[in-house]
């Protein structure tokens, strides 16, 4: 583990990515990490989980083992839930009338690319998006084409299946295709993720800091994906687990053990040790 840079403000907010960071490689929230989150809460740290998943795809086995004081930011931060509130506090997304233009830009870039849309209540896959890729998603519907879409409200996120992975070069290729109409990123797996300009994990963290009266310099962010880079740069301390790709590890001020070695538990241990008188 590399040492954290010293001399910064005492942390007041811990913002964590979910997959590959809080969860191990089998998708589990381990007991040491869960226990560490409760210790952090008891020590007065505000907590937030900022994930690319929509809320419906985070199982109760995970949410039930995270302190109920935590904020949850879904779909790369487009949908934010405050503790104890039934509905979201903030919802951002692509306006329904802009989505066809975005889908057309993706189709025009490559006949092999296809899209799925994360809506508030379901995920819609558009031909020829591979249905097998949506096997483990919750509440999935199928649509033959963009002209048949019925979008009741903002679309928090689009997924682009390129068939070639989602490394930095592929993300850049999708970004060129959509231009300024969307921001392309990736959180792992086989999809490039599109969010509206001005949104993303950094903006979610900025919103959370304003909500809590915390300066971003007093925030610690930890994540393993390309979509985490912006919040790692914004926070006073950005950390990455050892399983993160090289680009993310290079951007982090602190490199932790891997997610299979309870990375966030190790981070909390360091933060709480620093808080002792």
In 3D space, the residue among 183, 126, 133, 185 whose CA is nearest the CA of residue 163 turns out to be 133
Strands (E), 154-229: 157-161, 183-185, 191-195, 219-222
| pLDDT tens-digit series, residues 26-74 | 999 999 999 999 999 999 999 999 999 999 999 999 999 999 999 999 9
Instruction: Residue 199: name the closest of 210, 185, 216, 217 by CA.
Output: 185
pLDDT tens digit sequence for 173-192: 999 999 999 999 998 778 99
pLDDT in tens, 129-149: 998 888 889 999 998 877 788
**Other beta carbons less than 10 A from residue 33's beta carbon:** 24
- Whether the pLDDT of residue 252 is over 50: the answer is yes
* pTM (2 d.p.): 0.93
Contact 258, 275 (CB under 8 A): no
CA distance 56 to 150: 20
Q: Is residue 1 pLDDT above 60, yes or no? A: no
Inter-residue contact 112 to 163 (CB < 8 Å): yes
Report the mean per-residue pLDDT for the chain: 93
Q: Which residue has the tokens 């403000």?
A: 9
Length of the chain equals 277
Asked whether the bond before 108 is cis by omega within 30 degrees of 0, the reply is no
């Amino acid at each position: 583990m590399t040492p954290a840079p010293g001399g910064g403000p005492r942390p007041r907010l811990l913002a964590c990515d979910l997959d590959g960071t809080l969860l191990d490689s089998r998708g589990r929230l381990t007991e040491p990490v869960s226990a560490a989150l409760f210790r952090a809460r008891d020590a007065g740290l505000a907590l937030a989980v900022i994930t690319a998943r929509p809320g419906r795809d985070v199982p109760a086995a995970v949410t039930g083992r995270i302190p109920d004081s935590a904020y949850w930011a879904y779909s790369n931060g487009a949908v934010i839930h405050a503790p104890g509130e039934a509905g979201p506090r903030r919802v951002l997304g692509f306006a329904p009338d802009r989505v066809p233009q975005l889908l057309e830009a993706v189709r025009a870039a490559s006949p092999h690319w296809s899209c799925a849309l994360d809506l508030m209540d379901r995920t819609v896959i558009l031909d020829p998006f591979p249905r097998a890729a949506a096997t483990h998603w919750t509440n999935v519907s199928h649509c033959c084409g963009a002209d048949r879409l019925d979008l009741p409200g903002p679309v928090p996120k689009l997924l682009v299946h390129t068939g070639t992975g989602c490394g930095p070069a592929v993300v850049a290729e999708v970004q060129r295709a959509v231009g300024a109409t969307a921001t392309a990123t990736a959180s792992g797996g086989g999809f490039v993720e599109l969010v509206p300009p001005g949104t993303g994990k950094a903006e979610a963290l900025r919103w959370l800091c304003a909500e809590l009266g915390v300066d971003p310099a007093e925030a610690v962010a930890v994540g393993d994906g390309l979509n985490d880079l912006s919040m790692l740069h914004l926070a006073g301390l950005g950390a990455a687990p050892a399983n993160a790709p090289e680009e993310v590890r290079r951007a982090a001020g602190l490199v932790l053990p891997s997610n299979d070695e309870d990375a966030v538990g190790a981070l909390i241990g360091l933060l709480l040790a620093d808080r002792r008188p």
